[in-house]
Amino acid sequence: MRANLDQSKEALKVRVAARNAALVNPTAGLAPGFVQGNLIVLPAEEAAEFQRFCLRNPKPCPIIGMSDPGNPNLPELGEDLDIRTDIPRYRVWKNGEIVEEPTDVKSWWRDDLVAFVIGCSFSFEEALIADGIIPRHIACGSNVPMFRTNVPTNATGRFHGPLVVSMRPLKPVDAIRAVQITSRFPSVHGAPVHIGLPEEIGILDISKPDYGDPVSMNRGELPTFWACGVTPQSVVQAAKLDFAITHWPGCMLVTDVRNSSLST
Amino acid sequence: MRANLDQSKEALKVRVAARNAALVNPTAGLAPGFVQGNLIVLPAEEAAEFQRFCLRNPKPCPIIGMSDPGNPNLPELGEDLDIRTDIPRYRVWKNGEIVEEPTDVKSWWRDDLVAFVIGCSFSFEEALIADGIIPRHIACGSNVPMFRTNVPTNATGRFHGPLVVSMRPLKPVDAIRAVQITSRFPSVHGAPVHIGLPEEIGILDISKPDYGDPVSMNRGELPTFWACGVTPQSVVQAAKLDFAITHWPGCMLVTDVRNSSLST
């Protein structure tokens, strides 16, 4: 993974717009070609344990960047990047509950906080679209539907909770091609984790996502599920963590890293 | 693709047993590690057109070997290989109908016949098993179930007819892994052509295959379909060809080519 500083002004523009609160909406489709990331910020005393949790749950929690304690910059992910301001909307959590959804977290920042940036499926969606497979939520201009499953993550210390998945309805032939394409992107969730039988992973109503927006399912399509970077938010809830900051689902960190650089 | 002559005596032994009619049964599990192939033999005047048909239908009809007209040897596929005798059981076709199912075709051989050997899913099944995914028909010791679909092949001159597929019931997570594994074997049908919705490809009763044996489907499994090298037999029938020789489904040509050499 490598930042392409001289070609990445589009991503920087998005971050600056978020910083100035000129952008407070989901980032899908912005700065095409550049990696977007999920955020979770934790106190340093919990960070090492969370890093082990991610190592044991690489499908939902592939770490693509991590800050030093108290330092809001992640230079490997972007020029002049400030994690406290550069995401359009955040969630602040106390005891596993959302207490605020601000457009910056400067007033919440502390010297002991560590930011984790986790890969996002937006990166592989670009490769799907290039192959003619248009995810339904993109065609509809909505947020991808996401579901809490009955599949537990691999618990590590205080961190535990259900796997969250994103869902795209696909014709079987497209689902097969999507497995091939997304397998080439292991650091942004890789291949699907499930196809076709939502009840087997505890999803009883495909029209009622836990995060994001519902999408229509057509005859001849299979719901196709990928591990999702919103999983840490279900972990914050399940583990009732004292304090955490995350992004607001859909409002991602836009980085200077190229999607294509993540492909094997 | 490369014959490994000095390590391939197991394959030669199978061919010699077939030649002597000591072996008249399906070849699944024989000479593990070596490529098995489907056979279709046509008069030279039709061979060029059939070769174009295969080029346009690479998923069901990947050619892994082809004889010169009238020559029953295919040295690139095996030492001392005689295509007239080295398959356990054949089918002889006239006007698209089976007229004999002999254990050799020496009496039917002509100076103008060309043999095509077409890749077979047995090669990728070995890679599935190595990954812990045991196809149901192998666990049951039966022949893989095969179905004529409503998906037309790409017609070429006189050659046309429905795609034939083989079916393996798999848990979704195994179906996803199977897409990854079999994608590495493009010359033996590669990735599946369909998952999960048999009625969409014209298969109305999954318990009644057109070739091979039925297998049980368990709750939580998806029928997973690969293009099948028996497709040329459905083409012989559909096109009512004057004359053709094929293998008897399941009784394959065992070659000296290693399965692993076919992997990308």
Question: Which one, of B89, B40, B43, B45, lies nearest residue B62 by Cα?
Answer: B40
pLDDT in tens, A168-201: 999 999 999 999 999 999 999 999 999 999 999 9
* Percentage of the residues of chain A whose pLDDT score is greater than 90: 91
Position A5 scores a pLDDT of 46
| CB within 8 Å of chain B, chain A residues 156-185 | 172-173, 175-176, 179-180, 183
- Report the residue of chain B nearest A224, measured CA to CA: B172
* Beta partners for residue A92, in sequence order: A100, A245
With a threshold of 0.90, does the pTM exceed it? no
Regions of chain B where pLDDT drops below 70: 1-8
Position A29 scores a pLDDT of 85
* Percentage of the residues of chain A whose pLDDT score is greater than 70: 97
Position B8 scores a pLDDT of 58
Residue among B180, B183, B195 minimizing CB distance to A175: B195
pLDDT in tens, A1-26: 455 445 558 999 999 999 999 999 99
What domains are defined for chain B?
Answer: 5-120+235-262 (3.40.1640.10), 122-231 (3.30.2040.10)
Q: Which two tokens stand for residue B192?
A: 């599946």
* Beta partners for residue B224, in sequence order: B168, B195
Residue type, position B235, single letter: V
Write out chain B residues lying below 8 Å of A172, CB-based. 194-197, 200
pLDDT in tens, B95-135: 999 999 999 999 999 999 999 999 999 999 999 999 999 99
Residue among B176, B191, B200 minimizing CB distance to A195: B176
Q: How many CA atoms lie within 13 A of A27 on its CB side?
A: 37
Q: How many residues does chain A have?
A: 264
Query: Nearest 10 degrees: CA dihedral of A70, A71, A72, A78?
Result: -160
Question: Rounded mean pLDDT of chain A?
Answer: 94
Q: Are B224 and B77 in contact (CB under 8 A)?
A: no
Position A264 scores a pLDDT of 86
- Region A101-117: mean pLDDT is 98
